[in-house]
Structure formats: C-alpha cells, structure tokens
Amino acid sequence: MKFKQYLRKSSFYKAVVEDGADLIFVVDFEGNIHYFNSAVGHTLGYRGKSLLGKNFFDFIPPSFSEELRQKFRSSQKRAYTEKVEIQFLCKDRSYRFLEFNAINLKHKEGLHGYILDCRDITQRKRDAEELFRLQKAKEQFLANISHEIRTPINGIAGMAGLLSQNSSPDERDTYLNAIKHSAENLKVIINDILDLAAIESGKLRLEKIPFNLHDLLPSVVGMFTYQAKEKKLALDYRIDASLNRILLGDPVRLNQILINLISNAVKFTHSGEIQVYCVAEKLKKNSCLVKIEVMDTGVGIPADKLDKIFESFSQADASVTRKYGGSGLGLTIVKQLIELQQGSIDVKSAEHVGSSFIVKIPYTFSRSEHLKQASLPARSGPLSGKAVEETKVLLVEDNDINRLYAKSILQQWSCIVDIAENGLVAIEKIKYNPYDVVLMDVQMPVMDGYEATRSIRLMDSPMRYIPIVALTANATKADVEKCLSSGMNDYLPKPFTPEDLFRKIFRDLKVKKKRNGTLRKESDNKAGVDLTYLRSASDNNEEFLREMIQTFVQTIPSVLKEMEACLSNNNWERLSRLAHQIKPTFSLMGIESMRKTVFYIEQNADGTKDLQQLTMTTRAFIEDCNRVIADLRRDIAT
C-alpha cells in the first residue's frame, strides 16, 4: 500500500485529519513530509502544499535537530511514541513549541513512516516559564524578607539583653536608639507588605481632599535631612510658583510615593546631590499635571535592569538586597499608587552616573476662588503643652507590655489614664466616669473591641459620642473597615510611636480635656465641626465661613433623605454614589469622624457585603448628620 492510498481512506481523512484541531503531519522515517492538515496552516502559517516534499528536520532549530533524528530512529522499534517536545519554524520565521505523539505506520500499514499528532503548547511553555520566573522571584523575596525582618528583630532582642545588664547612661541611650531604629525598619517592611496586599486585592481607595505641595514637600524632604547630612549629600527641592494652589487628591499616598523615591535616592547615593523638582504641566483653569522629578548622583541602574525594577519582589540585582537591604516592594507600590491616580512614572538612569525618577499625576484645583493661593495650616508644635494636660484617657488593652507602653507615653503628657483589661470592663468604667477619649484594643478576651464599641454607641448622650481610637495590629483595609463600621472614629496600627499616638488623638481627632462635665473637641462649635482648614484657606474670612456653613445645612438634608430612600429600596449602588458625592464636603468642614463613616458607606454599599451592618451604620450616620445640621442652624441664627 502506498502513502497516497492510505491517506485517501475516508474514515482517516474525515474523522481524524481534516476535522481535527490537532496539527497532523505524515512523514517517512527520514523526515520527508508527505501530508499536513489545515490546522498546520492555521497555526504555523503554511498554506496549500507548501510543505510537501520538504524535510521535517529542516524546520527544527539546528541545535535540536540531531536529538530529534535520534528519537525518530529509536521510535522505529515502537508502535507508539508519546509526548515529544519540539520547536517548529513558522512561516513568519518565529518558532512555536509543539508536542507530538508518533504512530508508527510500519506496525499496522507496512509503511516506513509516522503520523505525528501535534499540539501547540507555546502558551503552556510561556506560562510555565512565567510561573517559574515568578516562583524564583517569590523565593528570592521570601529570602530577602526573612533576612530583613530577622535583622531588626535580632537587633531589638540583642539591645534589650544589653539593657538588662549593668550599663552606663550613655550605653543605655545607644541601646535604646538602636532598638528604636530597628523597630522603625521593621514597621516599614510590614507596611510595605500590607500596602501591596491592599493594592493587589483592589481594596485600596484613594481620598480626594485638599492639600498644598508647598506644605507637603518640605515636610517630606525634611525627614531625610539628617541622613543626607550624615552621608555629606546635598539635598534640596524646588517647587514651581504655579503650584502654590490647593490641589484635590490624596496627599497621604503622594507622601508615600515621595518617601519611597527620596529614601531610595539617599540609600543609593554615596556622594554628590539629590534634587527634587515639582512643576505644573498642561496647566488649565481647573486642573494640571503635576510633574515631580527626583534626581540623584548615585550608583545608577544597568540598562538591562530598568524594566525589572517596578516588578513585585524584585530589585535590579540580588546583590543590591544583600548590600543595601529592602523588601523589593517599594517601587512596585510606588508605580501602582501612581497608576491608581491615573498617573505615570518613568526612570532614566546610567551606572555610576545617577538616576532620575519622573512622576506625573493629574490633579484638579479647588473650585472655590477663596482657596486658590492659600496654604495649609502649619503643623502643631512639640508633643506637650497645657492643651493636652489632664486629658482623661481610657486605655482598653489586655496585653501587659502594650498597656505599659501606651500608659507611659500618655502620662508623659500629663494625661489622666484609666485602664480596662477588656471591653466589658471598659463599658462599666464609661458608665460611671467621664472620658475624653478611649483607646480600644481590638482583640481581647471576654468582649472584643468591636462589640464594646457597638455597645458604647448605644449608650445615652454624651457617652455614646466619646471618641474611640482602635489600637490594632491588624492593619489591612478590611480590618480598618471593620473598625469604622463598628462605630470607632479612627484607628492606629501597632506598633505606633509617641508621635503617631499624639497626632491621632490631639491633631486628627482634636480631643481636648472636658470642660464643665461635657465632652469637647477643639472645634468652632458644639456640632463637632472643625473649621481650622477653612479659616486658614480663607484668611479667616467670616463671610466665607458663614456661606460655607449655610451651603452645608441647605444641601446635605436632601442627600440624607435620598440616602434614607436608598435603604428602603435596597438601592445600594445609588447609596454608594451619594456617599461619594458628599464625602469631600465633610473633609472641608472638618467633620473627621463622619468623613470616615461616609467613606465606609461608599465602599461597602458598592460591594454590598454586610447589608445589615451597612444599614445600621448608614442610619446612625443620617441621625448624627441631622444633629450636626440642627446645631449649625442654631449657630448661624445667633
């Protein structure tokens, strides 16, 4: 029987060859091609009879051709050969990976040849290579992160051991500074991991609040002044005058981006200078593109590594991690934060010359003309003063060490500190004692912080309105949302510094000691509205402030009614849009606790996860808003 006769058999031709998705070749033992089906043309690009009479081995990379010939020879002794991988040259001169099973025609048909039943495994090979690459990157990351975490932990443990010995005052100061430095390094690494997890899970939401680069940038650069001075580096910045305007965006995330870039510049620069330039591009009436360039004269990045530096778990070179440390997540987080804000980041670098990172992020300007050339209020002074003395704090914490740490800090500021070991004890203490603020641990025996907070919010006034700050080691976005949804005003992740605690209590929440037995916050009125920002932005223009309050009390009630209707109609998507619509208003008016609640409503109504909790939170928010509006109306009338 000849090959042509065999190939004309209708059962073979129709069922197996022409209608099949597999690539079919019929070749003799020497590799000469006698037939190929239409799937070969679709996949490899060869049409008609273009491959007939050609040799199969001529389409195999020369380095693998002899190996395949050997497999052909060994297959002559077997009826069937499985899973032979090859690369085959396509019509467009590229190679695709194929895997074939060979049926020996000599055993059944008496022909000296094979049917090669091939499948295109190019994508599978690419996926396997990518999986291998990612696996190696993650293995490298785990090795890096293990080293990075263990190093500060070893430092803390070692210094603590030395402190327990008979050491001089100077030695104790040295050990304590070393412990503090190690703890800060550990905190940075953990925050990087949490940030990346939040970004990649899609749970990171950006704020849109007013800020001014002329206030933000000097503060960030100032953080690295001492490090630069130690390395004898010149560190300077320049901001274009056109950017002395109030921008609407997320200053916290911009701060994080700049810290990462400037930190890297300081780390990888051993001599010379670091410059940060901010200019406005595409300047329009209501918006601009802010361009920030961080330039250094450091070690630089090899050209073949530039496309790798923004990948997760990677640095330009493994030796970089060994020499300089780091998790390899910083630039990944920077890039993703920028892209979440519809921005871009580029890098120009040359080895032994330096690097330049160029960030471009679009921002809109504040709509109010009163805010155009304003600056944000300056930071508060040192962590002390009569403003915080005798502030009465209830510390709810079951861990002895954490309790001692927080209590010691508070007592240094002359605060009056009361202790509760769990949520149940905290509730009993609040019933009979007036407190200015509650610092609430989340995970505790008997009653946890969530349940305790919900119970406090059901108490009579004024106890139900007491500011509650969560102290939690669980700092993921979901954990934060759970804290806010339970009724807490804010949260502070552990471990925290004295500066973190002070800022949270006395700057963010503006808690002050009681006056005449009533809870008081540093606000412009008893409604809990803090107009500090608007006063500064308008140069204390009373007419403007009155107009802002009037607009607030006139516009918000209709939105609250619509939110109530959304709850009745289960219109969660509309509820989320309404919350998003009014969120910036609460930022401008300084109603921080409600801004966090409306942020929770926006995010959870969009996801419709825990509808019962969402409904309770929204109704409480509406009730609190109506109370604030009533107080503001009375203030305007007087």
Domain boundaries for CATH 3.30.565.10 within the chain: 209-371
Please name the helix (run of DSSP H) or strand (run of DSSP E) that holds residue 253, with its range, or none: helix 251-268
* Average confidence (pLDDT) over 176-181: 73
Q: Which amino acid is at 455?
A: S
> CATH number of the domain at 532-637, out of 3.30.70, 1.10.10, 1.20.120, 1.10.3470?
1.20.120
Cα 485–chain centre separation: 21
Domain boundaries for CATH 1.10.287.130 within the chain: 126-200
Q: Which residue has the higher pLDDT, 217 or 215?
A: 217
Domain boundaries for CATH 3.40.50.2300 within the chain: 392-519
Sheet holding 95-104, edge to edge: 33-36, 23-28, 113-120, 95-104, 80-89
Query: Which CATH superfamily, name and number, covers 3-120?
Result: PAS domain (3.30.450.20)
Q: CATH 3.30.360.10: does it fit domain 392-519? A: no
Q: What Cα–Cα distance (Å) separates residue 71 from each residue in 18, 85, 235, 495? A: 27, 11, 66, 63
The pLDDT tens digits of the residues spanning 386-442 come to 567 788 999 998 877 678 778 888 888 889 999 999 999 999 999 888 899 999 998
Q: Provide CATH code, domain 209-371.
A: 3.30.565.10
Please give the torsion angle defined by the CA atoms of residues 15, 21, 22 and 24, in that order, rounded to the nearest 10 degrees.
60
Domain boundaries for CATH 1.20.120 within the chain: 532-637
CA–CA gap between residue 626 and residue 636 (Å, rounded):
15
- CATH class of the domain at 126-200: mainly alpha
| pLDDT of 111 above 50 | yes
Sign of CA dihedral 373, 508, 482, 529: negative
HSE-CB of 19 using CA atoms within 13 angstroms: 7
* Average confidence (pLDDT) over 9-20: 57
The pLDDT tens digits of the residues spanning 563-622 come to 999 888 888 888 888 888 888 788 778 787 777 788 778 877 766 566 777 888 888 888
The pLDDT of residue 521: 37
Identify the CA nearest to 223 among candidates 478, 584, 499, 551. Answer: 499
| 8 A C-beta contact, residue 258 and residue 345 | no
HSE-CB of 330 using CA atoms within 13 angstroms: 20
Helix (H, G, I), strand (E, B) or coil at 354: strand
**Helix (H), strand (E) counts: the chain:** 22, 19
Give 278's contacts (C-beta < 8 A, 6+ positions apart): 213, 217, 237, 238, 239, 240, 243, 290, 291, 292
Most confident listed range (23-27, 225-229, 470-474): 23-27
CA–CA gap between residue 141 and residue 336 (Å, rounded):
18
pTM value is: 0.41
Question: Omega into 61 within 30° of 0, i.e. cis?
Answer: no
| pLDDT of 457 above 70 | yes
Domain boundaries for CATH 3.30.450.20 within the chain: 3-120
Cα 135–chain centre separation: 22
| 8 A C-beta contact, residue 549 and residue 555 | no
Q: Which two tokens stand for residue 79?
A: 């009826």
Most confident listed range (202-206, 538-542, 576-580): 576-580
Q: Which residue has the higher pLDDT, 171 or 326?
A: 171
